[in-house]
Amino acid sequence: MFRFADSVWLFALAVVPVLVGLFGLSSLRRRRALGVFGDAHLVRKLTATVSITARRCKAALCVVAVGTLVVALARPQFGSRVETVQSVGQDIVVAVDLSRSMLAEDVAPNRLERARLEILRLMDNLDGDRIGLVAFAADAFVQSPLTVDYSAAGLFLKAMHPDLMPVQGTDLGAALQVSLDALDQGARDARVVVVITDGEDHEGDFEDQLARAVTSGVQVHVVGIGSLDGVPIPEYDAQGRQAGFLRDDEGSVVTTRLGERTLTAVAERTGARYVRAGAGGTAFEDLMDEISGVEGEALDGLQITQFEEQFQVFLALALALLFAEWLWPDRRSERMAWAGRFE
């Protein structure tokens, strides 16, 4: 099979007839200029060492070399082989709490930013695993579907902010439902959910979704992020500068603290781990490393057709033609030029 990998370069072949025209125009102008000096027969005698044929051949070599170089840039490929690529990995959905309490700064730089940094580090360590993102507060939605494009997932992760959520709260049931639905879109049996939350203001009933996770064999790791002591929730103005702290209807400063009881139960029910990400310790990092280190399962091999690159043949030919043009003299030897001059 023959094809061009970058066929758009073939449009550059339009320069070939342009070059032919330029060489022809240059030759015509040269002849007209020589005719100004005097008799055409005399001019031919005086320029006997100049080979018109050699000049035409050198011009032809240049034109063909340019055309061959353009073909090389288009990356011609012919000959192919079929390779079977087997994907090994697991499906991971990370559900991130986007309630305003995640802006608390008891974990540096704040709870949400710390979660974001650890998820990005997890992505850096993945190889063949698919990862998806779920945002949740009082409701939940898929921020990024399962993908192996970690760069794209990272962009979606950086866009996650409490302002995306129309209603505040923490509905673990909704988070688990959307996460499990996302995993059902995949074909792997090795499936993991990671819920990152401060555990406050639980809403809804998550028991049904927890039972669904157990039945499906999905491990639900839970990361409780924050401290057990109450801390205020900062508020920011339109320029991103802190403008005080969140207050309730009575004007009192709202504080937030990590609620662990429910989070621990969720992890234990699915045979997974609960870790606390506080101001110190490496439990969060260790869990991310553990998840990225799981080998996962092998999927059915994907057959990929690999085409053999042949641009180097045309590139070598173009260079050889240019080298030949450089070596080819455009003048005859003096003996040949003067032969018969005075006969």
Residue 169 lies in a domain: yes
Tell whether 23 and 54 lie within a shared domain.
Answer: yes
Q: In this structure, what token pair is assigned to residue 280?
A: 């110190």
The pLDDT tens digits of the residues spanning 4-34 come to 888 888 898 898 888 888 888 887 787 776 6
Identify the domain containing residue 276 by its residue range: 88-298
161 lies in the same domain as 239: yes
Kindly report, residue by residue over 33-63, the tens digit of the pLDDT.
666 665 656 656 666 666 777 878 888 888 8
- pLDDT reading at 252 higher than 80: no
How many domains does the chain divide into?
A: 2
Q: Do 190 and 269 belong together in one domain?
A: yes
Any idea what the CATH number is for the domain that residue 118 is in? 3.40.50.410
CA angle 32, 36, 37 (to 5 degrees): 125
Q: Would you call 51 helix, strand, or coil by DSSP?
A: coil
- Is the residue at 343 inside a domain? no
For 80-100, how does the pLDDT look when each residue is reduced to its tens digit (9 = 90+)? 666 665 566 788 999 999 988
CB 233 within 8 A of CB 110: no
List of residues 6+ apart from 88 with CB closer than 8 A: 128, 295, 296, 297, 298, 299
Is the pLDDT reported for residue 298 higher than 60?
no
Calpha distance 254→230 (Å, rounded): 9
Q: Are residues 95 and 199 in the same domain?
A: yes
